Amino acid sequence: MTYQGLIQRYKQYLDLPAHTQTISLLEGNTPLIPMPRLGNEFGCELFIKFEGLNPTGSFKDRGMTAAISEAVGRGAQTVICASTGNTAASAAAYAARAGLRSIVLIPEGKVAAGKLAGAIAYGAEVIQIQGSFDDALSLVVEITQKTPIALVNSINPYRIEGQKTSSFEICDVLGSAPDWLCLPVGNAGNITSYWAGFKQYQKGLPRMLGVQAEGAAPLVLGHPVEKPETVATAIRIGKPARGEQALEAAHESNGRIIAVSDAQILDAQRILASEGVWVEPASAAGLAGLIAESAKGSIDAKGKRVVVVCTGHGMKDPSIITESFKSPQVIPARYQALVDLVGS
Ligand SMILES: *Cc1c(COP(=O)(O)O)cnc(C)c1O
C-alpha cells in the first residue's frame, strides 16, 4: 500500500485518544542518508536523518499531525502555539489542512524569513511578541487554560507521540537502534520523543548526545537563560519546557547534553552542505556536537553507528548564507565574458 503518513504507519505504537481524526500531509518517512566520507573522519558509520524533508521543512510535522488530528477529533476550532518559526509553519499547514483557524506567537524580529513566510502562506494569524520565545510560550499556555483554544506546542503530549516515530523509522531502516544519536536541543520536546520512542520500540538503545548553543544552554549551565542568543534561532530557548526529561534522557542513555558555539554550528552547517545536505543552523548542532566531542576524545565513535538528526531544511533560513557571502559576480551576457571568468 502507498504511504499514508506516520499515524497510519505506526498507530499501534502511538498513544492517541479514540476520537483522533487523522489529518496528514504524508509527513515522516524521511531519508536516513549514509555519509561515508564524513563518517570516515570519525571512523564510524554515519547517517543523517534528514528531517528537513518533511512537508513544511522540519521535524515539527511529526508532532503536528498528531496534535492537530487529536484537536480536530475533539472539536477544536482554533489552535495556537508559540514558536521560533518551524512550529508556526507546521501548525499553520496542518490547521489549514483541517480547516481550523491558527494563531502563532513569535518573538519579535527573531524568526528566520522562510519560517515566517511559511506561517503566512498557510494562513496563520501571526503575532509578534515583544519578548522571547519563553514569554510567548507562557502567554499561549495561559490563553489555552482559560479558553477553548487548543495548544499545539510540544507541551501537548500528542506532539511527543508523533515525534517518537522518527526513532521507529531509524530502527526500521538500520534493523536496530544506532550506538549514538546526536541532535539539537531547544525546548527539548524532540530529545524527549526520541528517547521515549527508542525505549518503546525495543530495538536497542542509543546513547543520546543533545546539543545546545552556547548562548542558549540552560541544560548545560543548570539554570534558565534570561536572554538566549544564537544564530541557531530554532534552539534560541532559555527555559526548555521539557528540560528535565531531556536531562533524564541524557542520563538514562549514558549520554550527555553539551553546548557548542555559533561558529562551530555554522562550520557544521558548511560541512553538511559540502556533502549535499543543506540544513538550517540549529539543525547542524548535532554534527557540531559530534565533531567537538570526538576532537576532545570524549566520544569514541570508532566502529560505531552514529545517527545525526538534521531537524530542519536550509531553505528556512537563507539569509544566514547570503549575508556572509558577497553577491554573485556580474558579467555582460556574452560568451567571451563567461569564458574569461570561468576559464575553459
Ligand atoms: C524545534 C526545532 C529544534 C529544537 O527542538 P526541541 O524539540 O525544541 O528541542 C531544533 N531544530 C529545528 C530546526 C527546530 O525546528
Instruction: For residue range 15-50, list pLDDT tens digits in order.
Output: 999 999 999 999 999 999 999 999 999 999 999 999
CA of 16 to the centre of ligand 1 (A): 22
Q: pLDDT band for 112, please (50, 70, 90 cuts).
A: confident
The Cα 194–Cα 182 span in angstroms is 11
Q: Report whether pLDDT(324) > 80.
A: no
**Cα 141 versus chain centre, distance:** 21
Q: What is the pLDDT of residue 321?
A: 87
Q: Report whether pLDDT(255) > 80.
A: yes
The three-state secondary structure class of 288 is: helix
* DSSP string of 55-119, one letter each residue: TTSBTHHHHHHHHHHHHHHTT--EEEEE-SSHHHHHHHHHHHHHT-EEEEEEETT-S-HHHHHHH
Grid cell of 150 as nine digits:
487548543
The three-state secondary structure class of 306 is: strand
Percentage of the chain lying above the pLDDT 90 cut: 90
For residue 236, the number of C-alpha atoms closer than 13 Å in the C-beta half-sphere is: 27
Q: How far apart are the first and last CA of the chain?
A: 51
Q: pLDDT band for 326, please (50, 70, 90 cuts).
A: confident
Report the nearest atom of ligand 1 relative to the CA of 86.
15
Structure letter (DSSP) for residue 178: -
What's the average model confidence in pLDDT over 295-314?
94
Element (H, E) at 33: strand 32-34
Residue for grid cell 546526536 = 182
Percentage of the chain lying above the pLDDT 70 cut: 100
Q: What is the pLDDT of residue 38?
A: 96
Grid cell of 196 as nine digits:
521515549
Nearest CA to ligand 1 atom 1: 234
What's the average model confidence in pLDDT over 196-218?
98
Q: What is the pLDDT of residue 261?
A: 98
Q: What is the pLDDT of residue 130?
A: 94
Q: What is the pLDDT of residue 195?
A: 98
Average pLDDT over all residues of the chain: 96
CA of 317 to the centre of ligand 1 (A): 14
Residue for grid cell 545536505 = 277
Q: In terms of DSSP H, where are the helices of 101-255?
A: 113-121, 133-146, 157-163, 165-174, 189-201, 218-221, 243-252
Of 172, 141, 230, 151, which Cα lies nearest the Cα of 10? 172
Structure letter (DSSP) for residue 328: P
Q: Report whether pLDDT(142) > 80.
A: yes
The Cα 274–Cα 267 span in angstroms is 11
Q: Report whether pLDDT(336) > 80.
A: yes
Of 220, 204, 301, 300, which Cα lies nearest the Cα of 261? 220
CB 16: neighbour CB atoms within 10 A? 18
What is the best residue among 49, 54, 56, 86 to mutate for testing ligand 1's pocket, by most ligand atoms within 8 Å of CB?
A: 86
Nearest CA to ligand 1 atom 2: 234
Element (H, E) at 126: strand 125-129
Amino acid identity, position 248: E
CB 18: neighbour CB atoms within 10 A? 5
Q: pLDDT band for 167, please (50, 70, 90 cuts).
A: very high
Q: What is the pLDDT of residue 113?
A: 85
Q: Report whether pLDDT(122) > 90.
A: yes
CA of 187 to the centre of ligand 1 (A): 7
Grid cell of 84 as nine digits:
521560533
Amino acid identity, position 191: I
Q: How large is the angle between the packed helices 165-174 and 189-201, nearest 10 degrees?
A: 50
Q: Report whether pLDDT(157) > 90.
A: yes
Q: What is the pLDDT of residue 84?
A: 87
The Cα 212–Cα 223 span in angstroms is 13
The Cα 275–Cα 262 span in angstroms is 20
Report the nearest atom of ligand 1 relative to the CA of 193.
7
What is the best residue among 164, 230, 235, 315 to mutate for testing ligand 1's pocket, by most ligand atoms within 8 Å of CB?
A: 235
Amino acid identity, position 344: S
Report the nearest atom of ligand 1 relative to the CA of 232.
11
Element (H, E) at 269: helix 262-274
The Cα 21–Cα 100 span in angstroms is 13
Q: Which residues line ligand 1 (CB under 6 A)?
A: 58, 60, 86, 154, 184-190, 234-235, 280, 282-283, 311-312
The Cα 344–Cα 328 span in angstroms is 19
